[in-house]
Amino acid sequence: MPDRQSLLEELLAAFPALKPEPFDRAGFMQLRADHALLPPVARYLHDKLHGRLALLWAVDLRPAAERYEVHYLFALEAGRPWVLLTLEIAGPDRLFPSVTPSVHSAQWYEREIRDMFGLIPQGHPDLRRLVRHEHWPKGTHPLKKDFAWNQVLGRQQGEYRFRHIEGEGVFEVPVGPIHAGIIEPGHFRFSVAGEPIMQLELRHFWKHRGVEKLFEQRRLIDGLPLAERVSGDTTVGHGLAYCQAVEALLHIEAPRRARYLRSLLLELERLHNHLGDVGAICNDTAYALAHAHCSRMKERLLQLNERLTGSRFLRGVLCVGGITRDVTLASLAETVEELNRIEADFSELEAIIFANASLTDRLETTGVLTERIGWDHGVIGVMGRASGLDQDVRRDRPFAAYDEVPVKVPLYRYGDVRARLRVRMDEIHESFRLIRELHRKMPVGPLSTSVSGSPPQGEWAISAVEGWRGEILYFLMAGENGVIHRCKVRDPSFVNWPAIQWAVIGNIVPDFPLINKSFNLSYAGNDL
């Protein structure tokens, strides 16, 4: 890859002390930096090379070695390799330099590392607990290798220190963590003076289940059921990201037909979720008619999923090496016919929605997330594309069958609720088109590749999938005898939740449910 060599030469010219790591992983470049070099290199990648911090995580390498590693994965523009910056923390040292002051999107990642590993990011502007709520005993760091997965923790008293705005007429409005209706827990604390929101602070991780620790109790070939349950509405997105990571470790490739069917499943998952979101956004403006019709169409899609795969939410269809269940030509043709009818139905509703002036008035200029703030936070997926951030893994780093069935990526620059609605609507039509194209080009052949053996201990792989919310990332490291040593999971919600705190400023509290629904982020996928 010529671009890889030129990129390496540029980085070594700017930072001669960087140590390139020799390996043959296609599309990746790994560089090691010491503590003093890390912040300027991260700043250079972010500012000079316009690299988005896609993932930041730590690994406890014990018992094989008495050290930790902290990894920073930067996604450069499409066609350029991922840059993996690695920092080693050896012996009893628990400190590492924070990059948050120059790369703002590292903020939650570094707080998470402190909670889970006990490693302290020096210079971080906010070292309050993130995942470990205050009732967790002091010194509890669950992702350290000497912490038992089934250890029962006692409780201690503690209080989270929310940020306060002082001044006459300033009030705080706490919402949650328990909400009315069927919704997962999350705490939102608004500071208002009159009606406009001056500040919103999130407090999440009430739903923390220890997913990454549970992965470490499984073999590589047995982790898929857990991945499918990270976020219940993203079965295929998370399951496919996990499968691809294992396949990369085992140096196998799913057959061409399986890759086509994987793309089909991913687009079906995108369709029913986006349709539900379009209706829910309309419902939060009291436009119940559109909500009812979207719910009806979503139910048709869920029933179609069940006829096609046996599962309304497409669970149990993926496997490491391919697909467990074939789709006959007749079933595929019937699927396309049903989708054509649903698209015609949706297009009629779409025209009605855009003709509704009162709805447009509620959506335009509400919950604006600017391109600059989106970039600073590393926002991805629907939220990013509605704010002018032109990125989509299906196009930029194709997987499954997307190299043979290219994707057209919608892009808007307004960053408001209407723009996020428009992105979803455009993606709904694009998913219909992609499924027709997949049907037209569907190859014949086997559904899966045989899986055997286990990779060497310490071998790792990274997998990226564009789920319906946005980019899903899995880092997978092999341990002894095919057991998982480390599995880092990053749902797009973990990246996008902090940005909503900026999108609501200047709006009124009654607009928050609408703004929140236009983001529609996962609590479970975030909290893990």
Q: Residue 139: exposed, middle, or buried by beta-carbon count in 10 A (0-12, 13-18, 19+)? A: exposed
- Sequence-distant (6+) residues with CB within 8 A of 465 are 237, 238, 240, 241, 244, 266, 393, 399, 471, 472
Contact 342, 301 (CB under 8 A): yes
Q: Can you tell me whether residue 155 is helix, strand or coil?
A: coil
Q: Residue 115: exposed, middle, or buried by beta-carbon count in 10 A (0-12, 13-18, 19+)? A: buried
Cis peptide before 39 (omega within 30 of 0): no
Rounded CA gap, 184 and 178, in Å? Answer: 8
Number of C-beta neighbours around residue 167 at 10 A = 9
Q: Residue 329: exposed, middle, or buried by beta-carbon count in 10 A (0-12, 13-18, 19+)? A: exposed
Number of C-beta neighbours around residue 175 at 10 A = 16
The token pair that represents 74 in the structure block: 């930067």
Helix axis angle, 512-519 to 492-503, nearest 10°:
150
The token pair that represents 45 in the structure block: 């990648």
Binding residue ranges for Mg(2+): 212, 489
Contact 364, 357 (CB under 8 A): no
**Nearest by Cα to 49 from 93, 112, 7, 19:** 7
- Sequence-distant (6+) residues with CB within 8 A of 118 are 94, 139, 141, 144
Contact 198, 505 (CB under 8 A): yes
Binding residue ranges: 212, 489
Contact 230, 211 (CB under 8 A): yes
Single-letter amino acid code for the residue at 68: Y
Contact 88, 106 (CB under 8 A): no
Angstrom distances, CA of residue 329 to CA of 124, 348, 401: 56, 29, 18
The token pair that represents 311 in the structure block: 């599962």
Contact 314, 236 (CB under 8 A): yes
Q: What DSSP line would sit under 81-130, residue for residue? A: PEEEEEEEEETT--EEE--TTT-GGGHHHHHHHHHHH--EEET-S--S-S
